[in-house]
Amino acid sequence: MADKQAELTVGGENYSFPTLEGSCGPDVIDIRKLYGNTGKFTFDPGYKSTASCESALTFIDGQEGVLLHRGYPIGQLAEHSSFMEVSHLMLTGELPTKDELDEFTHTITYHTMLHDQMRQFYQGFRRDAHPMAIMCGVVGALSAFYHDSTDISDPEHRKISSHRLIAKMPTIAAWAYKYSVGQPFMQPLNSLSYTGNFLRMTFGVPAEEYEVIPEVERAMDRIFILHADHEQNASTSTVRLAGSSGANPFACISAGIACLWGPAHGGANEAALNMLREIGTPDRIPHYIERAKDKNDPFRLMGFGHRVYKNYDPRAVVMQKTVREVFDALKVKDPVFETALRLEEIALSDPYFQEKKLFPNVDFYSGIILSAIGFPTTMFTALFALARTVGWVAQWNEMISDPGQVIGRPRQLYTGPTQRDYVPVSER
């Protein structure tokens, strides 16, 4: 809904562009006609001032530290909901009734198995391959197995592909872990919850029954909720851009996994725990804080800072609380938690971090919990990808079902050589 015009003067000419108003958050200036009217592009590397799309899925207020999924605050969802319920919410727009939740959970449960030939993809990797390398490869390979649902213009095809992706990610991730430790793959067990099934496929062995610890199952499920979706972050934007060309959803999610792997994005949970372990004891924190502030030192506090949050990441608040719950349930005492708490305290009282509004983000505490549960650091980003798949497919569906959807194709500011003629090598 346009409520006022934005005026722009270019080369002495005045131009007017409509502004569009969302249900909450900043208005946008609709510049779709800018190039046609002015012959000029906007310039916004990193898209710090650019809204790439319209979406009704997730809202973030970075100044206030607010995160809503279809209007529901992340703190309430983490406290009262489940990952299956949040997945239904992200895909359909509404929290399910009991019957709807049972039906959705049944559908997901009955798609958790992988085609038996998919085992062979794992055999092609070195045992020490990073799980994210395996996830990229195996998820992309899913597109070779589902020729019955590749018409993305068909809502039913989109629905079954979305369910397959959400359902199979736990199996794919668990098998990546099993492959790395040389244990046999565990098949899904339909009598378990989505998250309990994942824990059993990861830590269970054929030689004995595996008992899901309720507190761990609850903590893991909550971690999945906290990672489900996050507006137009780098990996979601990657999925949207890949999907805008009409690529199949499995290939798009594989592209999202590749992007998430970076240490500036989803790879930060692995990097944050490695950093905390390198710091070791609280007395070494000041040295690392100084390094993080030193412009000539590439070191950054991993798990700190965020492009959007200039306040505490609401997910980190829940994550910190969950550390204590898991430690109590597993009777774990890892000094790295004390180091993390102390590091946060020192950083947040330092003018550098205060002026730049750098706070702990979702990745700062998650690794401590995952490590206490038994995951190696190399699995942390794979777990992030597992959970974020529901957000990726929801965003992909929202884009593909938009009748006005077009292929994404940004332009550039060209600063290379102007036209010149070829010179034969004998004359160079």
The active-site residue out of 69, 163, 230, 306 is: 306
Q: What are 127's two structure tokens?
A: 């045992």
Q: Is 363 annotated in the active site?
A: yes
How many of the chain's residues bind ligand SDX (CB under 6 A)?
21
Q: What's the min distance (Å) between Cβ of 99 and ligand SDX?
A: 31
Binding of ligand SDX at residue 279 (CB under 6 A)? no
Q: Of the listed 157, 363, 402, 421, which one is catalytic? A: 363
Candidate ranges 2-10, 29-37, 262-270, 278-286; the one touching ligand SDX (CB under 6 A) = 262-270
Minimal distance, residue 381 CB to ligand SDX, in Å: 10
Which residues, in sequence order, are CB contacts of 425 under 8 Å at separation 6+?
Answer: none
Report CA torsion sign: 349, 350, 354, 358. Answer: negative
Amino acid at 138: V
Strand boundaries in 39-132, DSSP class E: 58-61, 66-69, 72-73
* 27 has catalytic annotation: no
Closer to ligand SDX by Cβ: residue 118 or 358: 358
Q: Counting contacts by CB under 6 A, is residue 137 touching ligand SDX? A: no
Residue 91 vs 319, nearer CB to ligand SDX: 319
> What region, left, alpha or beta, does residue 65 occupy, with left being phi > 0 and alpha being psi -120 to 50 degrees?
left
- Gap between the Cα atoms of 303 and 300, Å rounded: 9
Instruction: Figure out which of the listed residues 304, 365, 375, 392 binds ligand SDX, where binding follows CB under 6 A.
Output: 304
Shortest Cβ 140–ligand SDX spacing (Å): 20
> Contact between 186 and ligand SDX (CB under 6 A)?
no
DSSP state of 403: T
> Residues 358 to 397: which contact ligand SDX by CB under 6 A?
358, 361-363
Which residues have a Cβ under 8 Å from the Cβ of 58 and sit 6 or more positions away? 67, 68, 69, 70, 229, 230, 231, 391
Full DSSP string of 232-286: B-HHHHHHHHHHHTT--HHHHHHHHHHHHTSTTTTTHHHHHHHHHHHH-SGGGHH
Q: Is 250 among the residues that bind ligand SDX (CB under 6 A)?
A: no
Beta carbon of residue 331, minimum distance to ligand SDX (angstroms, whole number): 29
Residues tagged active-site: 306, 363
Question: Can you give the binding site for ligand SDX, defined by CB under 6 A?
Answer: 230, 233, 264-266, 268, 292, 300-308, 356, 358, 361-363
